[in-house]
Chains A and B, each alone.
Chain A
Amino acid sequence: MVQLFNVCKAYTRDGNALEDINLKIPKGDFVYITGPSGAGKSTLLKLLFAAEKPSRGQILINGQNLTRMRSSRIPFLRRQLGVVFQDFKLIESRTIFENVSFPLEVQGKKRYEISKKVYQMLKSVGLEHKLTKRPLELSGGEQQRVAIARSLVVEPLVLLADEPTGNLDPEVTLDIMELFKSANARGTTVLLATHDRDMIHRFPRRQIGLEAGRLVEDRTP
């Protein structure tokens, strides 16, 4: 599903944020990307949803080569991906329903289809009773559940999560992890960047370790 060949990324001339990364992640896999701050976890995810272009190397997602992709095709690639951030990235001026329906609107889905899917998705994250609330009226954990609902409503092939539990307390983290696990069980490939060792011990999965932009560990429990 996700393949990286000799991928390098340099933001400045002084050094590479990522260096010579080779990686194969099969369909339906659940992978932690671990490492200390500045190891290159976020850069790796940015390359995967085409927010950045690699300085060298090739990236393939579901057989599509991102490095050769025309910029006009990038939105269509992103429609096959779900992205979750530590800071949720919700639109504060819109309701929870509008936030979750946004990716479906972008894809031009019909109104009745959007309503049905959004309601089901919010129900699956336990927020169907907060449809009309706005993000700032919710707790951090609830906001992250909305962000996850938004990323999963399009039934993505790959879910990319960048420190999704970084701002949340341990109890909420467990709830969030359950959502990722159930998405993975439905066939979505999950890549989750974290440095939360407790979480990795509690839900052991394949673990890819980065350090100073290099891949230093790739093990499956």
Chain B
Amino acid sequence: MRQSPFLCTAAIGTVTVALCILAFFAIVVLNVQQLTQNWSREVQVVAYLDEVPAKNRLEMLIKDAQMIDTVEGVEFISRQQALDGFRSRLGDDATLLEGLESDFLPASLRISLKEGSRNRVSVEKVVSQLKSKKLFSDFRYGQDWLDRFDSFVSLIKLSSAILGGFLLFAALFIVANTIKLTVYARRDELEIMSLVGGTSLFIKTPFLIEGALQGAVGGGFSLGFSYILFEFFLHQGLSSLLLSGGIDNIIFLPTHFQLMIIAGGIFLGFFGSLLSLRKFVRI
């Protein structure tokens, strides 16, 4: 820093900007993931019973359904509960149900699936296993919606991976080149160190430590700036976009992500320096 303050500041600035972009990207992806997780709770199988079995038989049936490895929970909905639910959904129009028998709706099992199994393949696996019981008249699991949801989640995952990969590569490239400039500015010093008998380790170590420190400082700054920009701009923008989708609140990066950003800075600084030094230190 003392020897080339401008280039050192440039290196820290580059790491800060590169990691800020990554942090922003991570915030958006995390919140969209939160949204898709929220939506995925809607993925459930409703298995309608022909007849309500005896109590012990019903308990056995629920237990069997719970034994399926992708199933998170099973809830029995009696005919009366189904009617009550229907009535409450109708709201002011519930009067339409007056005069109808209370048992005109079938009882059912509402089966929710574990996170990670909320997709068409897992749903159909559960349905096929339940079909073998021959106690169910029908299954409903929002087939069309599930197809669209699966495609949407796949698209989010793929675009996150591609864009994240590009951003990470671009960050590494830009940071490595800026650090190369700082090393290039001190190439005379490197040459003299080598001339007077400095070992490769002796010459490289201070530069690597400096690179790692610059990366850590850049990582810290990027978290600070990301938080400020998140609070003042991104939070509001994401809220208007995502809160209507049903999630409770917009989240900033969790602690382990923040540590990953700092570690990412150290990684960029250290390996950026190492790559540059390989070019300039040849003993």
Interface, chain A (partner B; CB < 8 A):
49, 71-72, 74-79, 83, 89-93, 102-103, 106-107, 150, 154
Contact = CB atoms under 8 A, between A and B. Distances in A.
Interface in B1-28: 2-4
A89 B197 contact: no
A91 B195 contact: no
B244 to A, nearest CB: 58
Given A77-B197, A91-B189, A107-B197, 20 more contacts: A75-B194, A75-B198, A75-B200, A75-B202, A75-B283, A76-B197, A78-B195, A78-B196, A78-B197, A83-B195, A90-B192, A91-B188, A91-B192, A92-B188, A93-B2, A93-B3, A93-B4, A103-B197, A106-B193, A106-B198
18 contacts: A49-B195, A71-B283, A74-B283, A75-B194, A75-B197, A75-B200, A78-B196, A79-B196, A83-B195, A91-B189, A93-B4, A102-B196, A103-B196, A103-B197, A106-B198, A107-B197, A150-B196, A154-B197
B191 interface: yes
B33 interface: no
B202 A89 contact: no
B128 to A, nearest CB: 66
B205 interface: no
Contacts of A77: 197
Contacts of B199: 72, 75
Contacts of A150: 196
A46 B2 CA distance: 32
Contact of B202 (A49, A92, A106): A106
Contact of B197 (A79, A90, A92): A79
A92 B2 CA distance: 13
Contacts of B4: 93
Nearest to A103: B196
Closest 3 CB pairs of A and B: A79-B197, A103-B196, A78-B197
Contact of B196 (A71, A72, A92, A106): A106
